[in-house]
Structure 1
């Protein structure tokens, strides 16, 4: 998932559990990740990878002068990108719990929701090609998965 770097976003919240890897593995087997696959499928994106939240960069950090290095963004968010047939591949995605990324409860801006999967998302474009998607995941969903394990 990219090299370890000193950058840690001030805007991307993390959930930590004692059995972190077990919870993460169960989440990867959940319906949410099936929806992620479906989301990319309807967009005809075959090559995509997840950015670990510890390596992620928030939209606020990308659009401001906050101290996030370009090398961090390239190595952890945009690594492995190539342009094929006019589109950038592969695409990366990041799961976050931050509702502000998605304009949830902000009636002045539209919230993007996939009509096929119902996933709430936002994206970062390079030219006209999405290179990074942010997917909203309700933290309660992850907590429920953790509780099912014990």
Structure 2
């Protein structure tokens, strides 16, 4: 009987802790200012949780001009419309994703006669100054992701 109560209160404590943590995050986000920053999408990932009734969570990692990265949870339709390498303006409030607007690509357009490079980050081959897949500058080009 004592083991039952121990397990019961352990589970109840975990549930209460999770609820308090989510309310605290919600409150911190509401108190945070809405920010708009230039950003590059550098990674996307999904996380599957649950058994038969599985739920998929979607995450996108953004990199800013100061090289800081932030991973934000997004909805599935947003996840599907954003691609790695997209450049634009990220709107966020604390850890809350508010939107991402793609802008013109700041990367140089590759000359078809330029030499081929192998990307040190993702291994892709590309022409021009920047990898067209992940946005990494070509080695020795002196370029950075941001102009």
Structure 1 length normalisation: TM-score? 0.21
Which structure has the highest strand share of the two? 2
Higher helix share: 1
Greater relative contact order (Cα < 8 A, sep 6+) = 1
- Give the TM-score normalised by structure 2: 0.21
